Amino acid sequence: MPLPETQIPGRLQAYFSERGIRITQQRRAVLRVIETATKHLDASQILRKVQRVDASVDRSTVYRTLQLLKRHGLIDELDLMHIRGEGHYYERKMNREHIHIACLRCGKITEFVTSTYDKLKQQVEKDCHFKILVSRLEVGGYCSACRQ
């Protein structure tokens, strides 16, 4: 019998409890929003979604949780070429790093995975004697629809 959905700890929550990081109601809500997000969210969007579950959650709690996740390498921070505003977008860290392709006209974000990216990072590590922990490749331009 599977547990009811609210009791299934997500991957992020599992990571927290394994490491003895305290899981609070507020954190659980933030993690849930990030885990179930279908697109890139910025901090204020995350806050709004969290507050639909628990209206008392504060901005700073969301920011602090995002910092925590970033420090543990569980989320990636994106700029998305500053298409809308100056803030950052967040997404769960995926198994495979991918390229973010942002259309400067319609604002659509596409993700693209290719082994060439992995090769490029390997080359940087070798040629520059550098240990890569995070990388971010963002591309801006016009998608095929907008070029018509």
Q: Provide the binding-site residues for DNA, judged by CB under 7 A.
A: 17, 20-27, 42-44, 54, 56-61, 63-65, 67, 85-88
Q: At what angle do helices 59-71 and 25-36 cross, to 10 degrees?
A: 70
Contact 101, 114 (CB under 8 A): no
Closest listed residue to residue 12, CA positions, set 84, 91, 82:
91
Closest listed residue to residue 93, CA positions, set 7, 15, 9:
15
Q: CB under 5 to 8 A by kind: which of DNA, a second copy, none does 1 bind?
A: a second copy
Q: Is 139 in the site for a second copy (CB under 8 A)?
A: yes
Helix (H) or strand (E) holding 87: none
Q: Which of 1, 38, 55, 95 binds a second copy (CB under 8 A)?
A: 1
The Cα–Cα gap between 131 and 122 comes to: 10
Closest CB to a second copy among residues 8, 113: 113
The piece of 15-23, 43-51, 55-63, 114-122 that touches a second copy (CB under 8 A) is 114-122
Residues that bind a second copy (CB under 8 A): 1, 77, 79, 81-82, 99, 101, 103-104, 110, 112, 114, 116-117, 119-121, 123-124, 127-144, 147
